[in-house]
Amino acid sequence: MAVKRTQTIDEEVPQTMMNRLPASFKPRPRRAHQLEQTAGPGSPCKHELSADALIIGRGSAADLRIDSDDVSRTHAQLLRIDDEYTIEDLDSRNGVFLNGLQVHAAVLRDGDQLQLGDVVFTYNEGS
């Protein structure tokens, strides 16, 4: 007597249910993290972030220059660690405020509001 072949689990489960991506899957292009300036000289404007490190300040050494007396020459730096940006106060005169709290440093999250003197940014997290 012929033995009927048992169906394997693989055959029963549709492809998309498997723990792998379907052949039709195309990864979306990545979106850069972004600082959106909403107040202070130069606003409104958006800065796409791509560098591993950049300095925000009034001075010529700054990568993101802001022409405001409330902003120190080298006010803060942004550092990319594991694709997350951390802001760090560089001993600025007016400090760095994260959602109203003065911080020395902070890993940024989507929607965070940063204030440096009279300059306000919203951090838009990319993907």
Partner 1 sequence: MGFFVRFWGVRGSIPTPGPRTRRYGGNTSCIEMRSDSTVLIFDAGTGLRELGVSLMRNPPKEGLDLHLFLSHPHWDHIQGFPFFGPAYLKNTTLTVYGSEKNENYQLLSGQMSNAYFPVAFKDLSARIVPKAFVDDEVQAGDFVVKRFEQKHPGGSAGFRVEHGGNACVYATDSELDLMLIDPNGPAKAPRTLRRLPTPLVTPMKNADLLIADAQYTDEEYPAKVGWGHARANTVVDLAIQAGVKQLALTHHDPMQSDRDVDAKVLTASERARSIGAELDVFGAREGVTLRLDRG
95 — alpha (psi -120 to 50), left (phi > 0) or beta? left
Residue 107 C-beta: closest distance to partner 1, Å = 3
For residues 89 and 95, the answer to whether their CB atoms sit within 8 Å is yes
Q: Using CA atoms, how far apart are residues 101 and 115, in angstroms rounded to an integer?
A: 9
Give the residue, chosen from 12, 67, 101, 127, that forms a contact with partner 1 under the rule CB under 8 A: 101
Give the residue, chosen from 34, 38, 86, 122, that forms a contact with partner 1 under the rule CB under 8 A: 86
Give the residue, chosen from 55, 78, 106, 119, that forms a contact with partner 1 under the rule CB under 8 A: 106
For partner 1, give the closer residue by CB, 48 or 91.
91
Q: Which residues, 6+ apart, have CB-to-CB distance to 26 below 8 Å?
A: none
Residue 4 C-beta: closest distance to partner 1, Å = 45
Give the residue, chosen from 32, 53, 61, 105, that forms a contact with partner 1 under the rule CB under 8 A: 105
Binding site for partner 1 (CB under 8 A): 86, 89, 95, 98, 101-107, 109
